[in-house]
Chain A
Amino acid sequence: MEFINFLQYSFIQKAFFAGAFVAITCSALGLFLVLKKMSLIGDGLSHVSFGAIALALFLGFYPFYMAIPVVMLASLLILKISEKAKVYGDAAIGIVSAIGIAGGVILASVSKGFNVDLFSYLFGNILAISNIEVILSVILSLIVLLIIYFFYWDLFSATFDEEYAKTTGVKTNSINTIITLLTAVTVVLSVKMVGVMLVSALLILPAATALQLSSSFKKAILIGGLTALISVLFGISFSFFLDLPTGATIVMVNALFFALAVFYKKTFT
């Protein structure tokens, strides 16, 4: 009975709905990032989103509207730094990420008025998601998933063997740019759900779980999506009934699935 009542709360319905879309998007994109050894770009861009949200609050804009273009620009900056400045990708991520955090901290210090708002984004709260955020999350998630579907074989080829992909006419530089831009959008969407500190977990954990269990690339995408979806639904439910922080609970459920997958693989295969 209590569970039925729980499902009738509109904030729970909104959290389930938006969370499901964002989680599935993260898992699909995360698989490409993990296999390309670019997992930490999610972490770096989430730090940039902190700075971007601080800038939005400082200027009086709605955080989503400011964060999406700023984080997308930062993702392109990471690519340019690693290409033009002859810096390794992880160092480029570190540079842009540090600028994001430093900018956010300075803006928070200068303004003094919005610290509570800003710091709520550090750990997220999907239960407080607004109607406009639900609509944006669903639309942007669908756009990201459609782009992944559209470029599926090019993404697969460039992730599996970039050099060979080039010899079959795959524009690998464009594919890398697409992956980075999609990651930027997905990171911003995820910040509301789990917060700046835990965004990378949503990108990495379902993909890492799927890689333990899958026997083909298509199955990896499906298993990752399913794991992410169940983790969000269970995470929100557990957090509600056990009075735990929602973002952290979603991440811990994901981590539990990963641990079970590793155990299963070691024991039964």
Chain B
Amino acid sequence: MPTIITIKNLSFNYGQTEILKDISFAVESGDFIGLAGPNGAGKTTLIKVILGLLPITKGEIELFDKQQKNFSDWSKIGYLPQKLATINSLFPATVNEVVALGLLSGKTLPKRITKNDQKKVGAILEELGISDLKKRMLSELSGGQQQKVFLARALVSSPEILIFDEPSTALDPESRESFFKLIKKLNEKKGIAILLITHDTSYIGKYANKFLYVDKELIYFGKFSDFCRSAKMNSYFGKYEQHIICHQHN
């Protein structure tokens, strides 16, 4: 399997505070990785460092076999931030305009959204079943609809990996289920790798094939099935918690 992201001995400090310590793992094509950990464990920080939103304190990140600082083809990486609660409700952007923002990567100035780009936007909205929302303002939509719009924005550049930061936080159980089914389909049918932060450790095993658990440092990274059989994890989490994490994993 081609490697998409390689993290080697990554550390990140905020001032004097150590947020991430000596983390190493790799994301391969076709992976569906559930990234979990307690509050303040550094999950979101890890994603932000991978995306170049925060600087590396120590260690290395390779994206598509290139050092992160030399990587420029960000269209290969789709990102869906944990933003639903902080969207500016005054912002008069239509669904069409928001999704088009996902196509800016790789364009040179003056950046323009071409007719071909509009076709891509139309196609991805159609694929996600939200083409009827195309001209609606984002602020008028429900949380589930907004989440699909942001998924469309992440997908419109045909990325090879999607990175999610707690995508199900603002969703009701029904929307959450359909959202996870959708991204599992993208993972299986299109081979898009998924790296997904979740608090919902009892649920993620239903969809993810790999599990990454951090608590400032890496506690576990590997196949879900191995995690569920691991005596070391059994002693770390306790039998009951390990069972809760694993009970939905096939």
Closest Cβ of chain B to A84, distance in Å, is 15
Stretch at the interface among B86-94, B174-182, B239-247: B86-94
- The reply to whether B92 and A220 form a contact with Cβ atoms under 8 Å apart is yes
Given contacts A161-B83, A167-B77, contact A215 B109 (CB under 8 A): no
Residue-wise, chain A 152-168 has the 8 Å CB interface mask toward B (1 for contact) of: 11101101110111111
Q: A216-B97, A216-B137 are in contact. Are A160 and B91 (CB under 8 A)?
A: yes
**Cβ of A169 and Cβ of B97 under 8 Å apart?**
no
Task: Tell me the chain A residues, 19-53 only, with Cβ under 8 Å from chain B.
Answer: 35
Residue in contact with B97 in the complex, picked from A156, A166, A167, A210, CB distance below 8 Å:
A156
Total count of chain B residues near the partner, CB < 8 A:
34
Q: What is the minimal beta-carbon distance from B52 to any residue of chain A, in angstroms?
A: 7
Q: Render B89-126 as a binary contact track against A, CB cut-off 8 A, 1 for contact.
A: 01111101110111011110111110000000000000
For B137, what are the chain A residues with a Cβ–Cβ distance below 8 Å?
Answer: 215-216
Contact of B101 among A150, A165, A216 (CB under 8 A): A165
The secondary-structure label for the interface of chain A is helix
B135 / chain A contacts, CB cutoff of 8 Å: 215-216
What is the minimal beta-carbon distance from A261 to any residue of chain B, in angstroms?
13
B32 interface hit (Cβ, 8 Å): no
Name B101's closest neighbour in chain A (CB-CB). A157
- Decide: B52 and A168 in contact? CB cutoff 8 A: no
Residues on the A chain within 8 Å of B88, using CB: 35, 160
Chain B residues near A166 (CB, 8 Å)? Answer: 51-53
Contacts of A219 in B (CB 8 A): 92
Cα of A154 to Cα of B105 in the assembled complex, Å? 10
Hey, which chain B residues are within 8 Å of A159, CB to CB? 91
With A and B bound together, what is the CA distance between A169 and B103 in angstroms?
10
Q: How far is the CA of A220 from the CA of B94 in the complex (A)?
A: 11
Chain A contacts for B79, CB-based, 8 A: 164, 167
Which A residues lie within 8 Å of B94 (CB)? 215-217
Name the one of B81, B92, B107 contacting A163, with C-beta atoms under 8 angstroms: B81
Q: List residues of chain B with CB within 8 A of the CB of A228.
A: none
B225 touches A (CB below 8 Å) = no
A114 within 8 A of B: no
Closest to A214 in B: B92
A151 at the interface (CB under 8 A from B): yes
Contacting residues, chain A, for B25 (C-beta < 8 A)? none
| B221 on the A face (CB < 8 A) | no
A217 touches B105 (CB 8 A): no
User: Judging by beta carbons under 8 Å apart, are B104 and A157 in contact?
Assistant: yes
The answer to whether A160 touches B93 (Cβ under 8 A) is: yes
Q: Which A residues, 66 to 90, have Cβ-Cβ distances below 8 Å to chain B? A: none
Closest chain B residue, CB of each to CB of A215: B137
A170 at the A/B interface (Cβ < 8 Å)? yes
- A169–B92 CB distance below 8 A: no
Contact yes or no, A161 B81, CB < 8 A: yes
Q: Does B72 contact A (CB under 8 A)?
A: yes
Which chain B positions have C-beta within 8 A of A218? 97
Is B93 a contact partner of A217 (Cβ separation < 8 A)?
A: yes
Distance in angstroms between the alpha carbons of A166 and B53 in the assembled complex: 7
Residues on the A chain within 8 Å of B52, using CB: 166-167
* Contact between B92 and A154, CB atoms less than 8 A apart: no
Say how far B51's CB is from chain A's closest CB, in angstroms.
5
Name 20 interchain pairs, CB-CB below 8 A, sorted by A.
A35-B91, A151-B109, A152-B111, A153-B101, A153-B107, A153-B113, A156-B101, A161-B83, A161-B101, A165-B104, A167-B52, A168-B75, A168-B101, A168-B102, A210-B92, A214-B92, A215-B94, A216-B93, A217-B94, A219-B92
Given contacts A153-B101, A153-B113, A217-B91, 10 further A-B contacts (CB under 8 A): A152-B110, A153-B107, A153-B112, A159-B91, A164-B81, A214-B92, A216-B92, A217-B94, A217-B97, A220-B92
